[in-house]
Amino acid sequence: MRPLLSLINPKYFYRILDWQHKPYELAGSLAKVQEFDHYNNLIDLNSIFSTFPAGDPVDRTETVTGPFAFAVQRPWQPAQAKQDFSEVIALRVNYYLNTGKKLNLCWSGGIDSTCLVAGFLQHTAHLDQLRILYSPWSVYENREFFEYLKTNYPALDMLDISGDVYLETVFDGIMINGHGGDEFTASLDESFFDTVGYQGLHQPWQSLITDPTLQEFCTEYFALAQRPIDTVLEARWWFYAATKSQIFAPRDSVFATNATTSAFFNCQEFEDYMWHNIDQVIDNNNYISYKQFMKQYIYRFWPNDNYLKLARKVSSLQFVLYTRKKTELLGQQWIAYLSDGTAIRTLNLPLFSECEFKNTYGDSLEYLFKYL
Amino acid sequence: MTSGTKFYKIKLINRLLEHTHRVRSQLLDELTTNATDPVVFKRRLRMLRQVNSYESQLLQKVENFETNDMQDLVNFDVAPFFKDITWRSS
């Protein structure tokens, strides 16, 4: 069985379509490819939810055929167990602890990563299994939590990865990040919230998705959630959970040359929790209440009133910027990652040509393009 | 490789050198302006070192690059190559 795609870099990957004379048009950074109408519907839907769609949709229901052969890492299945959020965290933490490996917790200072650090510190018997990776921007984002850790957990291994450290260190064990925390909570960015408002989130989804053809597609696609999808918020939750939760490759971080990268919230337990509790995505008409249930969980570990009342979701891009920089400096640019972790790359990236691609791969990757 | 390809490679190399000159000058200015701040000073020095090594890496790649379409060489915009390594916050 040949490995399928795990992640593609649109900057290079779509140029292959030009060489194959396959017509496409861009929406954000995504390609709508001729003859893949249902897949293009997903991109149209993405364009409604986001001003600049990025990250190719990978349909976890496996009902929509796209132009590229992606491997679905975790096919969609309807929710089973109904558990408390604290039980979900405990299950997830114990899963990692039982590996016996060193656990590198990527703490950006945001809500998701603070939540996972709080979970690990509550359930870990041996602190030496943990290592917190942070940067000055993590401290900038959540200084009080940083000081709380320093004061109350002096034995905890905390490593500032800025400067030369992220460029030169090869980590072992598992790199655990907060990915999935957005995708399974409707990926509700502030600009979308400002546009539709709290009331708008609870309007029928047909008020936002007005195109009849798209409505027809959505009616069928939303039924696959096997729970009612009536409102804009539910539609948004389903879209991101079903198609956008797999946007990170198994080795999306070059910190992790010898380590596995794992997304803490990209798991069945958390997905099930949100399936039952979409109403918890946001509490009221103030954007600060987005992910309030996570902040309440953090509060039980670290009772900080200011954080509970005032912390808001921000996009923490520091680790992404570090990763990109290290990728460039090491000459490890990539065209795509396959599901077995191998990178598709040509020798002289970022200079990319048909000639170099053919010289490197010939026709051996044609199976990744479904229209060929 | 044809002589035509080499000509376009020289054009690309010129653009690359002009751009790295601009990037380097700006970093040197910032380094001078922030000479009393040891953290910024160290970061700018590190960035200058990285720009140098990245520049030589790119020059080597341009030299080795093979294409059957001259537009590949005409169209490359060199500024994005440096975007990821000159973020002021990384």
Would you call A137 and B68 a contact, using CB atoms and an 8 Å cutoff?
no
Residue B5: its pLDDT value, please? 75
Which tokens go with A24? 């496409």
In B, minimum Cα distance to A360 occurs at: B66
User: B90 pLDDT band (50/70/90 cuts)?
Assistant: low
Q: Which positions in chain A touch B49 (Cβ < 8 Å)?
A: none
Does B54 lie at the interface with A, CB-CB under 8 angstroms? yes
Mutate to test the interface with B, among A162, A351, A354 (most CBs of B within 10 A): A351
Find tokens 């065209």 and name the residue: A335
How far apart CA A58 and CA A6 sit, in angstroms, is 9
The answer to whether position A3 is within a domain reads no
Report ipTM (2 d.p.): 0.91
Does A320 lie at the interface with B, CB-CB under 8 angstroms? no
What residues does A344 pair with on adjacent strands? A336
CB of A59 closer than 8 Å to CB of A72 = yes
- Residue A21's contacts (CB-CB under 8 Å, 6 or more residues apart) are none
Cα dihedral sign for A35, A38, A43, A48? Answer: positive
Q: Which of B68, B76, B90 sits opposite A325 (nearest CB)?
A: B90
Q: Which positions in chain A touch B19 (Cβ < 8 Å)?
A: none
In B, minimum Cα distance to A346 occurs at: B65
Would you call A163 and B50 a contact, using CB atoms and an 8 Å cutoff?
no
The answer to whether position A354 is within a domain reads no
The DSSP annotation for A253-314 comes to: -GGGSSSEEEETT-SHHHHHHHHH-GGGSB-SSSGGGBTHHHHHHHHHHS--HHHHHH----
Q: For each successive 10 residues of chain A (372 residues), what is the average pLDDT?
A: 91 94 93 95 96 91 96 90 93 96 95 97 95 94 96 96 87 90 94 95 96 97 96 97 78 62 92 96 95 97 95 83 89 91 93 96 96 90
* Residues 348 through 367 of chain A touching chain B, CB cutoff 8 Å: 348-356, 359
The answer to whether position A29 is within a domain reads no
Would you call A359 and B62 a contact, using CB atoms and an 8 Å cutoff?
no
CATH code, A115: 3.40.50.620
The answer to whether position B23 is within a domain reads yes
The answer to whether position A343 is within a domain reads no
The count of structural domains within chain A is 1
Would you call B84 and A325 a contact, using CB atoms and an 8 Å cutoff?
yes
Provide the residue type at A207 as one letter. S
Domain span at residue B43 reads 3-64
Does A334 lie at the interface with B, CB-CB under 8 angstroms? no
Which among B30, B60, B57, B25 has a CA at the least distance from the CA of B44?
A: B30
Q: Which positions in chain A touch B84 (Cβ < 8 Å)?
A: 321, 324-325, 327-328
Which among A114, A158, A150 has a CA at the least distance from the CA of A133?
A: A158
> CA–CA distance from A349 to each of A11, A219, A300, B81 (Å)?
11, 43, 48, 10
Determine which helix (DSSP H) or strand (DSSP E) holds A178, and give its type and residue range.
none
How far apart CA B15 and CA B79 sit, in angstroms, is 9
Would you call B54 and A356 a contact, using CB atoms and an 8 Å cutoff?
no
Would you call A352 and B57 a contact, using CB atoms and an 8 Å cutoff?
no
**CA distance, residue B51 to nearest chain A CA (Å):** 9
Task: Say whether pLDDT at B1 is over 50.
Answer: no
Q: Which positions in chain B touch A318 (Cβ < 8 Å)?
A: 89-90
Task: Tell me what the mean pLDDT of segment B57-80 comes to.
Answer: 91
The count of structural domains within chain B is 1
Q: Which of A321, A350, A352 sits opposite B90 (nearest CB)?
A: A321
Does A155 lie at the interface with B, CB-CB under 8 angstroms? no
Helix axes B38-64, A318-329, angle to 10 degrees: 50
Which among A179, A174, A214, A183 has a CA at the least distance from the CA of A58?
A: A183
Domain span at residue A308 reads 85-183+247-322
Q: Which positions in chain A touch B80 (Cβ < 8 Å)?
A: 350
Q: Which of A163, A350, A354 sits opposite B81 (nearest CB)?
A: A350
- Rounding to the nearest 10 degrees, give the CA dihedral for residues A102, A103, A108, A112: 180
Q: Which positions in chain B touch A356 (Cβ < 8 Å)?
A: 65-67
How far apart CA A351 and CA A126 sit, in angstroms, is 48
The answer to whether position A315 is within a domain reads yes
Answer left, alpha or beta for residue A302, where phi above 0 means left and psi between -120 and 50 means alpha. Answer: beta
Does B77 lie at the interface with A, CB-CB under 8 angstroms? no
Sheet (strand A130-134) strand order = A157-160, A130-134, A103-106, A174-177, A260-263
The answer to whether position B39 is within a domain reads yes
How far apart CA A327 and CA B54 sit, in angstroms, is 11
Would you call A353 and B42 a contact, using CB atoms and an 8 Å cutoff?
no
Q: Which positions in chain B touch A349 (Cβ < 8 Å)?
A: 61
Does B49 lie at the interface with A, CB-CB under 8 angstroms? no
How far apart CA A49 and CA A186 sit, in angstroms, is 10
Would you call B68 and A322 a contact, using CB atoms and an 8 Å cutoff?
no
Residue A246: its pLDDT value, please? 82
How far apart CA A117 and CA A119 sit, in angstroms, is 5
